[in-house]
Amino acid sequence: KQRIHLGVIGCGNYGMADIRAAFKAGGVAVVSLCDVDSRHLADSADKVEQSQGTRPKTFKHYGELLETPGLDAIVIATPPQWHALPFIAAVERGLDVYCEKPLAYDVREGRAMVDAAREKSVIVQVGFQRRQSPAIQQARQYIREGHIGRIIQADAQIHYTAGILDTTPQDPPASLDWDLWCGPAPKLPYSPQIGHFAWRLEKTTGHGHLVDWGIHLIDATRYILGETTPRSVQASGGTYYFKDKITTPDILSVQFDFETCPVFWNHRIYGAAEYTPEVSNGIFFYGEKGTVFVTDQRWVIIPKGRDAQRIEHNVGADMGTAHMTEFLDAVRSRKQPGCTIEDGYRSTTTVKLAMIAYDVGATVAWDEQAEKITDHVQANSMLHRPYRAPWKHPYQA
C-alpha cells in the first residue's frame, strides 16, 4: 500500500480511537499531532511512538501542524467549534481530511467547508461510522427492495443515562489552554462538565445529545431512505432532570418532515435503565407490509400480525476501522468514499435545524435549494453563529 502520512488535530478519546483505526487499517504513519492540552499531547505522542516506533511531531496550534513536511491527510477529532477553521485551512493546502461528526458547529460553516473541499477536489470522509454497519447496510437493501412496502414513518431514538461532572466554575487544569480550547465559541468559565469529553451536552460546543450522538442515527435514516434534508422540522422538550447542570435538553422529541415520510426522533438521557434495552438505541421503519428495526449490530424483520414470527439478524463489525480503511483507500485511489462531505453537511444541517426549532419554539420550514429557513427570521439568523474575536467566520454570503 502507498504509505500515507497523517496528522491528527485533537488527541482526546476520539482522536486516539481514529489513530488506532488507522493503524489497524495499515499503510499509515502518524507524523504529527496537535492538541491544546499538553498532557493529552504528550500521552498521545507516547502511544503513537509505542505503536509505530517513531515519535510524531507535536504542536499546540493546528496551523503549525499543517506545515509538517510530507503530510498527506489529516484527521480532525476536536469538539465541533474547532472543525471548520482547520478543515478549510487543510483543504486549501490540498490535504485530504477525515473529519469527525458533526461536520460543523453551524450550518453556514458547513456550507463553507463543502465549497472549500469542492474547489480543491480533495478527499473527505465524515465520521458517520455506522454507514459501515452490515446491519444497517442489510436493512437498507431489504427496505429498498420493497419487502415492507411503502415506508409510512421512521422512529429513531437513543436513550441513555448521562453522567454529569462537577459544574462548579474553577481554574482549568494547568496543562489546558482554555481560551484556545474555546476558540471561536463563546469563552465560558471552565468546569469539568463543559471541558474534555463532557462538552457534548454544552450548547456552545457540542449542542446536545441529538447533535452529538443522535446524528449517527439521523444519518443512517437518511442513508436508508435515500433522503437529503427535511422540508420542515418541529421540536419540543426541555431540561428537567439535569436542570441547572446542562444547557441542552435532557428530553427531546423532533419531527422531521422528509419527502419520503416523517422521521421522529426521541431521546431521554436519564432513567434509561428502565427502558427496554433491546430497542433503546436504534431505528424503526414502519412500512405498509411490515416493520424493520435496526441498530449498530442487529436488525429485525417484524411482519404484520400479532403472531407473526420475527426474524433477527446479528451481524457485528468494527465500524471505526472499516470507515477509516475506506478513507485511506480513497486517498490512494482518488475516488470519494461512501460518506462524502455533502452527506456530512446534510446530516449536520438536519440536526441543527432541529435544535433551531427547539430554541425558537416553532416549526421551521427549510428551503434546500436556497439553504435558508423561509418562515422565521430569527431561526434563519441562527444558521450562522458569530465568532469570538480574533477568529473570523469562514462563510461568505
Classify residue 149: in a domain, yes or no. Answer: yes
pLDDT for the residue numbered 210? 99
Same domain flag for 113 and 254: no
* Other beta carbons less than 10 A from residue 254's beta carbon: 26
pLDDT for the residue numbered 93? 98
Same domain flag for 118 and 140: no
**pLDDT < 50 stretches in the chain:** none
What's the CATH number where 153 sits? 3.30.360.10
pLDDT for the residue numbered 277? 82
**Nearest partner of 359 among 106, 185, 182, judged by Cα:** 106
Contact predicate 202/249, CB 8 Å:
no
Classify residue 380: in a domain, yes or no. Answer: no
pLDDT for the residue numbered 1? 74
Crossing angle of helices 13-25 and 38-52, in 10° steps, is: 10
Same domain flag for 123 and 192: no
pLDDT digits (tens, 9 = 90+) for 144-203: 999 999 999 999 999 999 999 999 999 999 999 999 999 999 999 999 999 999 999 999
Same domain flag for 62 and 108: yes
Same domain flag for 336 and 206: no
Classify residue 282: in a domain, yes or no. Answer: yes
What's the CATH number where 123 sits? 3.40.50.720
pLDDT for the residue numbered 271? 86
* Structural domain that includes position 154: 133-167+176-316+349-375
Contact predicate 44/35, CB 8 Å:
yes
Classify residue 334: in a domain, yes or no. Answer: yes
Helix (H, G, I), strand (E, B) or coil at 63: helix
* Other beta carbons less than 10 A from residue 321's beta carbon: 20
Same domain flag for 27 and 75: yes
Cα first-last separation, the chain: 42
Same domain flag for 121 and 185: no
Classify residue 394: in a domain, yes or no. Answer: no
Same domain flag for 304 and 327: no
Classify residue 387: in a domain, yes or no. Answer: no
Q: Which helix (H) or strand (E) holds 293?
A: strand 290-295
pLDDT digits (tens, 9 = 90+) for 352-364: 999 999 999 999 9
Contacts for 288 with CB less than 8 Å, ≥ 6 apart: 148, 149, 150, 152
pTM of the predicted protein model: 0.97
pLDDT for the residue numbered 397? 80
Contacts for 368 with CB less than 8 Å, ≥ 6 apart: 228, 229, 231
Same domain flag for 31 and 102: yes
Contact predicate 110/345, CB 8 Å:
yes
Question: In the sheet that 151-158 helps form, which strands lie side by side, from edge to edge?
Answer: 311-314, 298-303, 290-295, 281-287, 151-158, 262-268, 251-257, 232-238, 364-367, 372-373
User: Which residue(s) pair with 33 in the sheet?
Assistant: 8, 58
Same domain flag for 330 and 296: no
Q: How many separate domains does the chain show?
A: 2
Classify residue 395: in a domain, yes or no. Answer: no
Classify residue 26: in a domain, yes or no. Answer: yes
DSSP letter string, 69-107: TT--EEEE-S-GGGTHHHHHHHHHTT-EEEEPSSS-SSH
Same domain flag for 75 and 159: no
Same domain flag for 223 and 86: no
